[in-house]
Amino acid sequence: MNPPLSPIRAIQQLPDNLISQIAAGEVVERPSAVVKELLENALDAGASQITVRLEQGGVKRIAITDNGRGIAPEQLPLALARHATSKISSLHDLENVATLGFRGEALASIASVSQLTLSSRTADAGHASEIDGSTLAVTPSSGAQGTTVDVQDLYFNTPARRKFLKSEQTEFGHCAEVVRRIALARPDVSFSLTHNGKTVDHWNITEIAKRSASILGNEFANARLALDEGAGPLRLHGFVGLPTASKARADAQYFYVNGRFVRDKLLVHAVRAAYQDVLHGDRYPSYVLGLDLDPALVDVNVHPSKIEVRFRDSRSVHQFVFHAVSRALAQTSATSFGATPAPLPSPSGAMPWIRGSQEHLQAILQPDAQVPQQQTSFGPQFAPAANGVAQTAANYGALFSGNERTADGAAIYPAMPQLASHTLPSDDFPLGFALAQLHGIYILAQNTKGLVLVDMHAAHERILYEQLKGALDEDAMQVQPLLIPVTFFADAVEVGTAEENRDTLHALGFDIAAISPTTLAVRSVPALLKNADAQTLARDVLRDVREFGGSRVLVERRNELLGTLACHTAVRANRSLTAPEMNALLRQMEATERADQCNHGRPTWSQLALSDLDKLFLRGQ
């Protein structure tokens, strides 16, 4: 049934008050929107100290006081007028906005749906002045330099809007989140937040490291990476959380563009893509990042609440953010669990054990190969034991330096690792040295902090994955020709995929050719995967190439494909490793980027400190 037609009305000019109330529908969505607009005005005025007082979640009262420049008495009526602002005066200013507020609608819109009082004092004024938002009458007042905006009874004259508000605690939560967002962006400003007369938060002037730790908590502070990179007009700085600081919800993600908090899909996608190799399942990363660029290169006037932006060159911004965050996360080699990683060790000169470790790591993939004694960098005392487990206690004592001995001359093993006759700092061996294998799945190792548990399949998978990525990036994929090609039955789709995507397969290190309408032959595979099942590898790579498309697989879906290949080749569970093989794997983990997680985002190792073990056995209690 069609609704009745509305009566025809003449076109008429709307009254100013109704115009402001309509604008308030966009600007004043809820009390938190008022808090945001007033805080931005305070910061634009140069405030270094801001106090926010709320009552009943901001519905009853929002009072924000700052110590900024203040407003001259004669300009107070203009401050409450629509489209009146001191921040822009021309199209050039609009295209180069360097302030948080600039539209000139906030105060007028807020005053139209509340009882607003504004008092302000400039540095050269003898006293403060106050203006009533309803009557626009200006009267003398008292107060220090700065401005106080007191908003009471929000939506008192639009009760329908008030019905859409949530509970007091919900509205207060939104207001508190706005204060936190802005406080994160401006550690050079002190903020105080009270609700119903009780102080909820207070942050003194400090640096961004301490401010972010105070707001996001110790869990983030203890598991974050500092980031500061520049490229041309772009600069990205702040902190990205380690994967161990990921959360089940995206409630610890703060991104700022020229100091303005934004929720931009392009930026969120860039950061998420950088985390794709190290996040497990549906976990969300934590970060506090600021992107600085020329205001002319970004349009902040694309949304009424200014929470979305548009970049002039969005692709360049996306790539810059993605690569900057990726490089920061690449520093997460095997380090102290849940703490800021140390720099990656250099494979040349300073740490000779890396050169020998590669031979032992290859032994993991070559069960029948014998590791020559002279090739091991662990010395003759670390020859593989007959049972494939770690050395005796006497041999492992040689891993630790120190001169302490008991009365009968027996050595006491301190917590400083030693390699043959070379004493190295303990920080060079964050994963310590292997003690044993548990159920053919985990490596048990001892380091200076206590016990280390390593998932050998996940760890080896990450090592191979990073090696494959590096080889492909440098166009240096080593190829292993097969002495006898591996042939297998293939359907018409697989044969067609191999013939149509020969160049893509060659770039990945595969030579797969059709020798009949129903048979494919694998003639070469990547050298890193030479000990894997060639037929299984070929079928998987053909499946991914067919699914993702040959032209896209090396660009958009490359990591998924390489992850599949690495997973096939990584050492499997129930494989018995010798001590040199286990130690070689630990050394390779320490030298591999992102080694804290496998490429599916699962942790590769975990640390049990001596204090944790003491608690298990009630030692010292």
C-alpha neighbours within 13 Å on the C-beta side of residue 497: 21
Q: What is the pLDDT of residue 474?
A: 78
Q: What is the pLDDT of residue 551?
A: 56
**Residue 18: is its pLDDT beyond 60?**
yes
Mean pLDDT value across residues 119-144: 92
Residue 481 has which token pair? 């020709």
Summarised one tens digit per residue, pLDDT across range 25-60 is 566 788 999 999 999 999 999 999 999 999 999 999
**Residue 296: is its pLDDT beyond 80?**
yes
Q: What is the pLDDT of residue 345?
A: 41
**Residue 234: is its pLDDT beyond 80?**
yes
Determine contact, residues 512/522, Cβ cutoff 8 Å.
yes
Q: How does residue 178 score in pLDDT terms, banded at 50, 70 and 90?
A: very high
d(CA 534, CA 376): 29
- Looking at the whole model, is its pTM more than 0.95? no
Q: What is the pLDDT of residue 501?
A: 87
Question: Which long-range CB contacts under 8 A does 81-89 form with residues at least 24 apart?
Answer: 81/108, 82/16, 82/19, 82/20, 82/23, 82/108, 83/108, 84/108, 87/44
Q: Which of 182-186, 225-229, 553-557 has the lowest mean pLDDT?
A: 553-557
Within 138-293, where are the H helices?
159-162, 168-185, 208-216, 218-221, 265-275
d(CA 226, CA 209): 9
Q: What is the pLDDT of residue 336?
A: 40
**Residue 423: is its pLDDT beyond 70?**
no
Give the three-state DSSP class for 414.
coil
Summarised one tens digit per residue, pLDDT across range 197-223 is 999 999 999 999 999 999 998 888 888
Q: What is the pLDDT of residue 346?
A: 39
| Amino acid at residue number 515 | I
Q: How does residue 244 score in pLDDT terms, banded at 50, 70 and 90?
A: confident
**Residue 574: is its pLDDT beyond 80?**
no
Summarised one tens digit per residue, pLDDT across range 525-566 is 888 788 778 888 888 888 878 877 665 666 556 777 777 777
Output the 3-class SS for 541-554. HHHHHHHHCHHHHC
Mean pLDDT value across residues 57-80: 93
Length of the chain (residues):
621
**Residue 420: is its pLDDT beyond 70?**
no
491 compared with 7, residue with greater pLDDT = 491
**Residue 601: is its pLDDT beyond 90?**
no
**Residue 473: is its pLDDT beyond 90?**
no
Q: How does residue 106 score in pLDDT terms, banded at 50, 70 and 90?
A: confident
d(CA 259, CA 309): 13
- Measured CA distances, 417 to 59, 81, 294, 402, 590 (Å): 63, 72, 51, 10, 15
| DSSP label of 400 | B
Mean pLDDT value across residues 477-503: 89
Nearest C-alpha neighbor of 267 from the set 235, 229, 297, 309: 309
Q: What is the pLDDT of residue 620?
A: 76
Tell me what percent of the residues of the chain surpass a pLDDT of 70.
Answer: 75
Q: How does residue 415 score in pLDDT terms, banded at 50, 70 and 90?
A: very low
Q: How does residue 354 score in pLDDT terms, banded at 50, 70 and 90?
A: very low
Mean pLDDT value across residues 94-106: 65
Q: What is the pLDDT of residue 402?
A: 38
